[in-house]
């Protein structure tokens, strides 16, 4: 990682929502997606170095709150994230998040960042990165079922990273599709508004499903999906939530991030525990084959994993020195004598008294 100003390790760079938006706009949205993808590829290719554990989840009737930790032995990172589909009806975000990086050698935090925007960017970059390795050769058209908060990020990632030119949109809420079309206007995509899932997937080389309902759902049925496609299944990301009919899975060659987590949260929770899947990092390092036939159905069963957040935070930290978009937080106590924390409080009282407080 690049060194940051300030050099005072007791001050922690903080990237607020406002800072994050300015960083992304200064670098460019598509450039940011490509940059995060580069960092993801670097980390996926050193996958075996990382600590790996399924996310720690606290589920309720209304949603889920999760912690997602990992470390490469030098830097530790975690993300706090929630998922509450009901929130949109109350004018709130479905997903909010923040993340931390820390120096393993000292345990001191080196970055605190918003991750609501950053999670959308890293999810889209991960989707497009997987498709780059798995999609049919010459893919130019993508159907996107579910046009909520993730949709524009996914569309631009596939355009910038995979060369997608046509976007076929469908959502049960037509206003969501209209918003997505408006937001993507002038960005070089040929956008087709569709009136059903079936019409959206017709002629598409890639199918992205990214819906929000927290339930077993069948967004795509088996008869909708022909050969020679890549499916990017993003929306199924917790126990009891799926988007694809089981028969589609049985026809597909399935790729995942981390099997112990995906078998609990992903589309493959519908399958037997020993059903064979391939880890994406193995394809990227050449240890396993990806698509082996143009007529295959490949499926990336994406649930999001901590290493992806680590990569995104690492990318943002490396942009701070050149953008200057961060604030320094006084988060780490710095007593004159590390053993005298109480004395530091007493000296603070004396300072307050001298100032008449």
Directed axis angle between helix 29-44 and helix 306-317, to 10°? 120
Question: Is 237 a residue of the active site?
Answer: yes
What are the φ/ψ torsions at residue 135 (nearest 5 degrees)?
Answer: -70, 155
Q: 325: which residues sit within 8 A by CB, 6+ positions away?
A: 15, 19, 20, 22, 23, 26, 319
Alpha-helical segments (H) within the chain: 17-27, 29-44, 116-134, 151-157, 174-183, 197-201, 246-251, 259-265, 280-285, 306-317, 320-323, 341-354
Q: Could you give the CA distance from residue 255 to residue 276 in angstroms, rounded to a whole number?
A: 9
| Residues in a beta bridge with 76 | 71, 102
Residue 246 and residue 292: Cα distance in Å, rounded?
22
Structure tokens that stand for 263 in this block: 């078998």
Q: Shortest CA distance to 305 belongs to which of 39, 96, 68?
A: 68
Contact partners, residue 91, CB within 8 Å, separation at least 6: none
Task: Give the span between the Cα atoms of 70 and 47, in whole angstroms.
Answer: 11
CA–CA distances in Å: residue 188 to residues 155, 164, 191: 11, 10, 9
How far apart are the C-alpha atoms of 120 and 152, rounded to whole Å? Answer: 9
Cα separations in angstroms, 283 against 85, 248, 255, 276, 277: 33, 22, 9, 15, 12
**Which residue is catalytic, options 43, 171, 205, 237?**
237
Nearest by Cα to 118 from 181, 176, 32: 32
Helix, strand, coil content of the chain in percent (nearest 5): 40, 25, 35
- DSSP 8-state class, residue 257: S
Strand-pairing partners, residue 68, are 79
Q: Which are the catalytic amino acids?
A: 237
């Amino acid at each position: 990682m690049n060194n940051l100003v300030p050099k005072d390790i007791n001050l922690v760079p903080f990237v607020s929502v406002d800072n994050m938006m300015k960083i992304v706009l200064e670098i460019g949205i598509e450039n940011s997606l490509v940059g995060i993808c580069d960092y993801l590829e670097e980390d996926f290719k050193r996958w075996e170095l990382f600590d790996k554990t399924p996310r720690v989840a606290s589920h309720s009737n209304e949603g889920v709150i999760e912690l997602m930790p990992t470390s490469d032995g030098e830097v530790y990172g975690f993300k706090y994230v929630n998922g509450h589909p009901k929130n949109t009806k109350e004018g709130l975000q479905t997903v909010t998040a923040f993340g931390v990086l820390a120096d393993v050698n000292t345990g001191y935090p080196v970055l605190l960042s918003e991750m609501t925007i950053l999670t959308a960017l890293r999810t889209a970059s991960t989707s497009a990165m997987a498709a780059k390795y798995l999609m049919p050769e010459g893919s130019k058209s993508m159907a996107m079922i579910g046009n909520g908060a993730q949709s524009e990020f996914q569309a631009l990632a596939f355009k910038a990273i995979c060369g997608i030119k046509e976007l076929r949109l469908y959502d049960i809420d037509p206003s969501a599709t209209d918003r997505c079309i408006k937001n993507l206007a002038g960005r070089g995509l040929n956008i087709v508004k569709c009136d059903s899932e079936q019409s959206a997937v017709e002629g598409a080389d890639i199918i992205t499903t990214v819906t929000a309902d927290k339930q077993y759902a069948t967004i795509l049925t088996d008869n909708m999906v022909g050969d020679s496609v890549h499916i990017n299944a993003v929306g199924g990301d917790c126990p009891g939530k799926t988007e694809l009919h089981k028969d589609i899975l049985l026809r597909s060659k399935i790729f995942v991030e981390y099997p112990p987590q995906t078998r609990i949260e992903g589309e493959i929770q519908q399958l037997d525990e020993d059903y064979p899947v391939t880890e994406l990092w193995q394809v990227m390092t050449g240890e396993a084959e990806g698509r082996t036939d143009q007529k295959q159905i490949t499926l990336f069963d994406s649930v999001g994993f901590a290493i992806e957040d680590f990569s995104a935070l690492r990318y943002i930290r490396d942009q701070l020195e050149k953008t200057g978009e961060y604030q320094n937080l006084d988060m780490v106590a710095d007593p004159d004598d590390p053993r005298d924390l109480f004395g530091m409080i007493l000296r603070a009282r004396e300072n307050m008294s001298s100032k008449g407080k």
